[in-house]
Structures are given as C-alpha cells and as structure tokens.
Amino acid sequence: MNRLGKFLQIDRRWIFLAILIAVLAPFIWPMGLPIVITKPVQDLYNAVDAIPPNGEPLFISIDYSPSTVPELDPMALAILRHAFSKDIRVAVLTLDPAGYGLAERALEAVAAEFGKERHKDYVFLGFQPGISAVVLGMGINIRNVFPEDAYGTPLSEIPMMEGIRNYDQIPLLITLSGTAVVEAWVIYAHQPYDAQIGAGVTAVMATDYYPFLDTGQLVGMLGGMRGAAEYETLIDRHDAGVRGMDSQSVIHILIIVLIVVGNIAYFGSRKRAPETAGGDAAA
C-alpha cells in the first residue's frame, strides 16, 4: 500500500478532532457572513406579516424537544419577535411533552421583551397528549382539547380567545418540529379543515416537506439553522441563528475538502495499486 492508500485508511478520530476544532474556532473569531433569503422563508414571513394586528391570533405549536433546540429555538424566538413587533396576538401550544418548558420559556422571554400582556396579547395553552387526536380535536373546537390555558384559566375567560373556536378562526398555524408532527398537522388539520399550516423544521426534515410546499399543503417553511438565520435577517434582529452560521460554514467547507481529498487519494492510489478498490460498497 502506498502513501495515498494509507491516507484512505486514516483513523477516523483525526476527522473527529478536525470537526471539534472547526466548531470551536468561530466561537472565538466571529465572521458574520451575509445571508440570502430563500422563497419558503419569505413565504412564511409574508404569511405572518399579513395577519392583522390585535385580531385572530397566530398559533405556534412548539413541537420540539431539547434535542433539536439549537435549530428550532432561534426560529421560535424570531417568529415570536416578528409577531409581537407587529402587535399580532399569539397562542402557543405544544404536542411534545418535552416541549412544554421550552415553549413557556421562549414565549415568556419574548413577551417580556415587547412588554406584552398575558391573555390579552398572548396565551400559552400548554401540552396535550395524543398528537392526531389533538390536531383533529382543534378542528372541532379548541376548547374540547384545551379547555383551559396552561395555568388553569378557562379559555372562555381569556379575552383574546373570544370567538376563536377552531381552524376557521386561525389565520395561520406554525408548527416547529424535528419530527413527523408536521405531517400530522398537514394530514389532520389542513386536509380535513383547510387550516393554513406553516412549518419550521430541522434541516434534515426539510427535504421531506418540499413536496408539501409545492402542493400548497404548507404555506411556507424554515429549514434548519439557516432558515432561522434568514428569518432573523428578515426581521433585522441577528441572534443565535446568524451567529451559528459561521461555524456551519467552516464545517461544511471542511467536509467538502475531506471528500475532495479522499477522492484524489482514492484515484491516485488506484492508478498505482488497483487492488485497493473495494471495502465499503458504493450505493
């Protein structure tokens, strides 16, 4: 085996070390690279922007758990900031038991930032188990599934919820999720009740939902940390999303360099020693 061939057998722990360095470096030297806005993000932004102030509330379903916080939390914050800055009322709920604390924290933080009043400008409905049952139930009457808000106030006593019965009075519902919950919203809220659904998903789920954007089953979508960064750029409020994109750039380039170098080594070593081909089968 020649030197190039040996490179292909390199201990993968060197790659791990390189990744670790790459993720830590931008923490020390921020770069602040520019962000381009994509259509699904612009669409979602426009949909939120079109909601009349102090009217029917924007619903945000915080359907993620702590494992996807780095990608989805910045989205929640950016959308909440957008809504509150335009005096749009917000109702937050969660279909993930682990999302309760996350939803509450994000909502209270941004509401305090804009001096918003609970029950007048925003409401936290809390968690209900049984995803499809909740989504379907909200189509009949929100009060059936959320008889009271997270702190025990009956919905009938919450001023901003007056007249809000089901999806017909919800101009837009945004689900933020790292799982297939998005599909539940599409199948059980959009399909039967024609609810307008927007989504914020992890980068990995995003490709899955492109067909739904195309068919109009989703109004718009934020994909991964970049989606959050784009939204932050649209509302002109840079935060964790934009910051994280620097680390992202470095690691993406590193992986591409690894692929390129790996292929050069592979073809170089094969010319001289053709028998080294094999090992892991290609697709």
| Contacts with another protein, 198-227, as mask; x by CB under 8 A | ----xxxxxxx-xx--xxxx-----xxxx-
Q: What does the block give as tokens for 1? A: 């085996």
Tell me if 141 contacts another protein by CB under 8 A. yes
The nearer residue to another protein, 71 or 115, going by C-beta atoms, is: 71
Minimum distance of another protein from residue 76's CB (angstroms): 14
Q: How far is CA 93 from CA 39, 103, 136, in A?
A: 27, 7, 14
DSSP code, position 57: P
Minimum distance of another protein from residue 169's CB (angstroms): 8
Taking CB under 8 A as the criterion, the residue among 1, 21, 109, 140 binding another protein is: 140
The nearer residue to another protein, 49 or 192, going by C-beta atoms, is: 192
Taking CB under 8 A as the criterion, the residue among 42, 85, 153, 179 binding another protein is: 179
Tell me if 2 contacts another protein by CB under 8 A. no
Minimum distance of another protein from residue 84's CB (angstroms): 20
The nearer residue to another protein, 61 or 217, going by C-beta atoms, is: 217
The nearer residue to another protein, 45 or 223, going by C-beta atoms, is: 223
Taking CB under 8 A as the criterion, the residue among 159, 262, 272, 273 binding another protein is: 262
**Among the candidate windows 41-49, 111-119, 149-157, 246-254, which touches another protein by CB under 8 A?**
246-254
Asked if 35 and 230 touch (Cβ cutoff 8 Å), the reply is yes
What's at 118, amino acid-wise? R
Tell me if 282 contacts another protein by CB under 8 A. yes
Tell me if 232 contacts another protein by CB under 8 A. no
CB-based burial, 89-102: b 16+ in 10 Å, e otherwise: bbbbbbbbeebbeb
Binding to another protein, residues 66-105 (CB under 8 A)? 66-71, 97-98, 101
Which uninterrupted H or E stretch holds 58? strand 58-63
The nearer residue to another protein, 40 or 80, going by C-beta atoms, is: 40
Q: Going by C-beta distance under 8 Å and a sequence separation of 6 or more, which residues neighbour residue 129?
A: 97
Distance CA 241, CA 145 (A): 33
Q: Going by C-beta distance under 8 Å and a sequence separation of 6 or more, which residues neighbour residue 279?
A: none
Asked if 200 and 221 touch (Cβ cutoff 8 Å), the reply is yes
Distance CA 156, CA 148 (A): 8
Q: Is the dihedral of CA 28, 32, 33, 36 positive or negative?
A: positive
Binding to another protein, residues 108-137 (CB under 8 A)? 129-130, 132-133
Q: What does the block give as tokens for 186? A: 């599409």
The nearer residue to another protein, 70 or 86, going by C-beta atoms, is: 70
The nearer residue to another protein, 115 or 163, going by C-beta atoms, is: 163
